[in-house]
């Protein structure tokens, strides 16, 4: 097309729809070639594309374009004369815009109703929508518009009744599924307005099954959220929660941890604001090695009551079980901040500094040391003369460890070296 557009012999042809259609047909199916041999533009096109002059010798296809039995033409059109095969050569095709279809009487009434609705003149809108329905009983949009007026007026039962009728007519007339979806969604909105959320969800789902729209999906999610919260609130019972907690304690003392978890879980459903139950369940999870679940319960405990010391100590013990001594140390220190004499937290801190002895080859130790010394914080600690003195004392006299660990700043540095693998303590 670029070559044809650049050549003055074929520029004008590209403005002719029938010529462009000819090129398209040849491009899709070259076997159509014979259909266009009689068109003089075809030879000119080939001449431009191939760079060959076919004007001499009768052209590429002698006799092409001649009427069967007629004498061959010996003269050609004068230079500059307009081709006789098309009076539209070089002219743009500007078809006149199609006239807009005239509105039916029913649609005119609907339009008047819409204008009144926008002005909140609902009685006038209803009158026009009723006129439209009388003129055309098969168009469900007149009914859904009428239902919209009822909804705005708070006439919810009438709105629902009209929407149901609209859906029935839409099914009978095989109407656009989007219009049916709109009617179903409006029924859902009626139930939502009446706080009948279960019914609202049912109708919103029916609407979404026909056609998914962001508005209906948002309403469905809102109704679901409200319904779930209502059901949760209705399920609450401090009395039953206490009974389940007692049963859980009994099962725990018997060593029946799965049963205890079941009762504690029911207890928190009945009363989700009691941190002790979450703490008890965390203990059960620890017993059955479900450490991450136990950790989540400890976090809930501390969210409900940030001063619950047992929540911190239990969290610390779980971190120890997960081989996370730094996190365990932080939890035990938080417990001591609340209760400086808490023996469980004190013992936990000592355990946090103890790591199992592992057997490593010299090459493995070298790799650990290189990795550790790439940490700027470790480098700073190891370059501190005071810390090097302390580390030497700890190596010569293990009893000095406890003295140094009482200092939280030194203890944190020692723990960093333990975590990096540079030192170990037993």
Angle at which helices 177-193 and 197-210 cross, to 10°: 170
Choose among 341, 344, 328: nearest CA to 415: 328
Q: What is the pLDDT of residue 221?
A: 97
As averages over each run of 10 residues, the pLDDT of the chain (426 residues) reads 75 80 79 75 78 55 40 39 43 58 89 96 97 95 97 97 97 94 97 96 97 96 95 92 97 96 96 96 95 96 96 95 85 93 91 58 67 84 90 77 78 78 66
Number of residues in the chain: 426
The model's pTM: 0.50
Q: What is the pLDDT of residue 282?
A: 97
Q: What is the pLDDT of residue 97?
A: 64
Choose among 264, 280, 273: nearest CA to 238: 273
Q: What is the pLDDT of residue 414?
A: 83
Choose among 175, 224, 172: nearest CA to 198: 224
Burial 344-354 (b: 16+ CB within 10 A, else e): bbeebbebbbe
Q: What is the pLDDT of residue 359?
A: 45
Q: What is the pLDDT of residue 71?
A: 37
Choose among 307, 233, 243: nearest CA to 277: 243
Q: What is the pLDDT of residue 23?
A: 81
Q: What is the pLDDT of residue 7?
A: 79
Rounded distance between C-alpha atoms, residue 110 and residue 91, angstroms:
44
Q: What is the pLDDT of residue 52?
A: 65
Rounded distance between C-alpha atoms, residue 98 and residue 156, angstroms:
43
The SS3 call for residue 78 is: coil
Rounded distance between C-alpha atoms, residue 14 and residue 1, angstroms:
8
Q: What is the pLDDT of residue 91?
A: 46
Q: CB neighbours of 331 closer than 8 A, spacing ≥ 6? A: 312, 313, 315, 316, 319, 348
Rounded distance between C-alpha atoms, residue 50 and residue 62, angstroms:
18
Q: What is the pLDDT of residue 12?
A: 78
Q: What is the pLDDT of residue 99?
A: 62
């Amino acid at each position: 097309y670029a070559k044809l557009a650049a050549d003055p012999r074929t520029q004008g042809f590209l403005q002719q729809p029938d010529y462009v259609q000819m090129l398209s047909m040849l491009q899709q199916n070259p076997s159509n070639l014979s259909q266009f041999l009689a068109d003089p533009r075809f030879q000119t096109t080939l001449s431009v594309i191939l760079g060959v002059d076919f004007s001499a010798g009768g052209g590429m296809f002698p006799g092409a374009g001649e009427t069967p039995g007629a004498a061959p033409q010996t003269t050609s059109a004068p230079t500059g004369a307009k081709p006789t095969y098309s009076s539209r050569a070089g002219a743009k095709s500007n078809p006149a815009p199609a006239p807009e279809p005239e509105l039916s009487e029913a649609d005119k009434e609907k339009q008047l109703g819409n204008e009144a609705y926008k002005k909140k003149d609902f009685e006038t809108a209803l009158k026009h929508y009723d006129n439209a329905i009388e003129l055309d009983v098969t168009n469900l949009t007149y009914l859904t518009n009428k239902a919209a007026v009822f909804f705005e007026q708070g006439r919810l039962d009438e709105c629902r009744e009209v929407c149901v009728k609209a859906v029935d007519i839409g099914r009978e007339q095989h109407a656009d599924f989007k219009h049916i979806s709109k009617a179903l969604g409006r029924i859902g909105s009626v139930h939502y307005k009446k706080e009948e959320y279960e019914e609202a969800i049912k109708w919103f789902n029916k609407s979404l099954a026909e056609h998914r729209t962001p508005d209906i999906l948002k309403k469905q999610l809102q109704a679901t959220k409200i319904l779930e919260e209502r059901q949760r609130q209705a399920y609450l019972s401090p009395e039953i929660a206490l009974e389940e907690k007692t049963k859980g304690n009994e099962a725990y003392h018997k060593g029946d941890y799965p049963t205890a978890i079941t009762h504690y879980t029911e207890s928190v459903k009945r009363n989700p604001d009691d941190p002790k139950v979450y703490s008890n369940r965390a203990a059960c999870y620890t017993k059955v090695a479900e450490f991450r679940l136990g950790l989540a319960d400890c976090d809930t405990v501390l969210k409900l009551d940030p001063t619950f010391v047992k929540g911190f100590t239990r969290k610390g013990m779980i971190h120890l079980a997960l081989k996370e001594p730094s996190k365990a140390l932080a939890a035990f220190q938080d417990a001591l901040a609340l209760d400086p004499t808490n023996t469980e937290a004190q013992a936990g801190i000592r355990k946090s500094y103890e790591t199992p002895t592992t057997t490593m080859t010299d090459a493995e130790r070298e790799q650990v040391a290189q990795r550790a010394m790439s940490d700027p914080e470790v480098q700073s600690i190891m370059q501190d003369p005071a810390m090097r003195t302390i580390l030497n004392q700890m190596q010569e006299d293990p009893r000095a460890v406890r003295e140094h660990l009482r200092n939280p700043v030194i203890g944190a540095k020692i723990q960093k070296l333990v975590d990096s693998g540079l030192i170990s303590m037993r």
